[in-house]
Every structure is written in C-alpha cells, then in structure tokens.
Chains A and B, each alone.
Chain A
Amino acid sequence: MTTAEPLVGTGRRRGGLSAGSHLLVQAGEYVCALPLRSVRRVLRALTVHPLPGATDELKGLAEFGGEPLPVLELSRLIGAPPGAKPAHPVTIVVWVGPQDARELVGLAADAALEVSEVQLTSVVAGEGGFVLGEALVDGAVVRVVNLEALGGDR
C-alpha cells in the first residue's frame, strides 16, 4: 500500500478542507460530487483489464501502486446517460465502504472538474442506490455519490 498523497493538486491543505468539500467529476451527462475526504488520487485513466462475467458497472482490474484495483464505471453506477467521448478520461481512486472496513476502488470518469463545497443539509435525497441525492452547485444540479454504499457485500 502506498502512503497518502496530496489530493488533487488544489493547493489546499488537508486541514483547510471541510466536511462539505467535494470533488466534482463528469460522468456521462451527469456531474457527480465525491466527498473529498474519500478521494485518494486522481489519475489519467488507468489501463483496465476487463473481467469475464462482470456486471456492466465493473470495468475491470487495473494496477495501482503495485496492487490490483477494481475499476468501476461511474456513469453506470449512477445511471447517467452516456455523454460525448471524453478527451481526458480519469480514474479517481477512492475509499469506499464503512470506515471500519473501507477498501480502495477506482472510478472511471470522463473528467475531474473542480473542488467545491456541497452542503449536505442541502442535498435532496434520491432514490437510493449509489446516489445520496442531488444538490445545487453554482446553479447546476450535481449528484452526490454515496461511496459508503459501494463497499462490502449487498
């Protein structure tokens, strides 16, 4: 396991981040918000090796820091309509699952956009699944992803 690295080159110190700090990413036609405290790394899209028999959400396995890393297609996870072919796709390495059993996965997304504040009290609950709900950021709707729900067994 590699050690913790700076997050996404925002220049912010960890201590300066609030609980509402989220990384906004493009996934198909949706913009998603990932809690910044769960983001380990943002990388140019990793090479992924598909696994036979996997569901549509699982893109495959990649190598990250010498370890195997499952990579999930973020747009599939949240049911986003497909967008234009991304110019600079990324893999976002995140912690998922509950704190006491967290695990790393990669999320394949179309682009990392910016770090923004999303007040969780303003999130309108969604229909469950991996979307916690929707919130407005600068007048645009973003889907807040529930990374805890992604870990462990159903």
Chain B
Amino acid sequence: MSPALHPVAQRGYLLVRRDGVLWGVENGAVEGLSRHGAQFRLAVGGAELGVDEVVGVVAELAVWPLTGALRRFWPDTAGGLAVHAEAPLVIVDPQRPPRALRIAGSEGEMSDGEGRH
C-alpha cells in the first residue's frame, strides 16, 4: 500500500443512511439537522441533504482516500471511505456534498467544476 493510501484518523462523525448506503459526516460540518416526516434533512456545506435514517455518532473513524479504481466507476464526490461495525461507508466531503444525498433543487447545489450540476 502506498503512503497516500494510509488511513487518516479523524474525530467525530454523524452516521446516516440513505437508500441502504451508510454515510459519515464530520460533526463540525453539520450545520443543521431536522426531521421532515419519515426522513431527515442535513445542512452541510450550504446544501440540503436528505437521509432516511440517523444511525448515530462515532467518535473516531479511520478514513481512506478514494482509490483510482473506485473513482473510475463512481463519478460522485466523497471525502473518503471508512468502515464502521464491519460495514463500509462513504465520508461526505462538506465542500462538495454528494449528488446522491442532495435534495433536488436545494440551495447550495454546486457544479462539478465543469459547469455541470
């Protein structure tokens, strides 16, 4: 494993689930959390994200960067990958919240740097 792939210890993540996928958001990046019916909405990086379930909070996660092979086949944005309770999860990049979690038409939706949304 190259040095670039060594995990980086981070502290404090909110774990959420959407469509069966587990996501982690740094506690400090969560600007708001509210309930909307059966779902929850998170404010992160100026965007509003929809999640099905708030799983909990973990004090620490080892975060691995996205590998080239994953980026090749998964075009969404993320801050890295981790494992919690033997389940893989995706770390949200607060600067570029993932399209998979964004609520359509929410403010703060950002382009991908190539003019696309």
Contact = CB atoms under 8 A, between A and B. Distances in A.
Interface of A: 1, 49-55, 57-58, 61-63, 66-70, 72, 96-97, 100-105, 150-154
Contacts of A154: 72
Given A54-B73, A58-B73, A63-B86, A68 B20 contact: no
Given A51-B21, A70-B73, A103-B5, A97 B88 contact: no
Contacts of A61: 81, 88, 90
A21 to B, nearest CB: 23
A53 B76 contact: yes
B82 interface: yes
A12 to B, nearest CB: 25
Chain B, interface SS category: mixed
B70 A70 contact: yes
Given A49-B88, A53-B100, A61-B88, A103 B74 contact: no
B75 interface: yes
Contacts of A151: 67-69
B14 interface: no
